[in-house]
Amino acid sequence: MYPLNRNRRLRSSQTIRDLVRETSLSNKDFIVPIFAVEGKNIKNEILSMPGYFQLSLDLIEKEVRQLWGMGLKAVLVFVKVEDKLKDNKGKEALNKDGLMQRAIKTIKNSVPEMLVFTDVALDPYSKFGHDGIVENFKILNDQTIDLLAQISVSHANAGSDFVAPSDMMDGRVLKIRQALENNGHKNTGIMSYSAKYASSLYGPFRNALDSAPEFGDKKTYQMDYANQKEALNEALKDLDEGADIIMIKPGLPYLDIVNFLSEKIICPIAVYQVSGEYSMLKIAAAKGFLNFDQVMIEQLYAFKRAGASMIVTYHAKNAIKLLNKSL
């Protein structure tokens, strides 16, 4: 009771604030997205994601060495597939010499200890830009998960440590887990996008990979942003099917989901601070409306405070530089 209790005593200096801080943030919390493209010495800035780049494999080799040197030890790999290779069957996704498979090998050859997560979905390979096989303008679930299982095995064969299915098809985690077990990859993990919402914040990412849907939207498989309990239902099913980590995507508008699931399930929880979140902050900071460093760190702490075990973020390199300054 005031005046005996004065809460401001514990805020009176940076030293005491550091000592009583409840949430920590470090290099161990981040997974770095990487966009791979064909070619050599290619570094294309993504127009809708200022300061972030598509990289050819020779530059990815250098990039992962730099990341490792900064203490960033996990990457999530995406690929921009050439239009001529896109179809409705994901044939290129199974190519053992495809861009994803070569990207995995490039990273592992460059930094063998780097933890490699790989995106498993059809939209980069689909001529329709959807996450599944299309028939009569509908997304086929069961045929798609059979294909996703094959893709996951292909990634594991190339050296992926964790496959990350982002498609939101029913039953895909079980199919993938069974396929990995049956093909000698019992130690390959699954980070499942369990609560992936049908958000309007994915636009810059889809520009980066040229993977926007050619018709309709993705609301028949991605979740309704009005729902919370559905996220728990999805996460529990994925865990039963063999997921090791569950993912919530997007991030900031879904902190309630991060917190809700962290209190209901016992497993690591990843959160994806998506491209739209990244671009809004970058552009607002460039206009002088916000202090980039201060808002970036505040947002990252918010994810951890809400209950996230790890954060997929395009801000990882900037965050490490800032955190190192504060040591």
Q: Which of 86, 175, 196, 282 is catalytic?
A: 196
Distance CA 67, CA 51 (A): 16
Q: What is the DSSP letter of 32?
A: E
* 255-289 per-residue burial string, b: 16 or more CB within 10 A, e: under 16: bebbebbbeebeeebbbbbbbbbbbebbeebeeee
What are the helix (H) ranges across 94-202? Answer: 99-110, 141-158, 172-182
264 among known catalytic residues: no
- Which amino acid is it at 81? V
Closest CA to 153 of 108, 114, 96, 238: 96
Residue with tokens 């040229």: 210
249 tagged catalytic: yes
Per DSSP, helices labelled H in 159-291 are: 172-182, 203-209, 229-241, 255-264, 275-286
Question: Which of 86, 175, 218, 249 is flagged as catalytic?
Answer: 249
Distance CA 205, CA 213 (A): 12
3-state class (DSSP) for residue 137:
coil
Q: How far is CA 50 from CA 28, 207, 252, 278, 309, in A?
A: 25, 12, 19, 9, 27
Euclidean distance between CA atoms 252 and 257, whole angstroms: 10
Q: Looking at the annotation, which residues are catalytic?
A: 196, 249
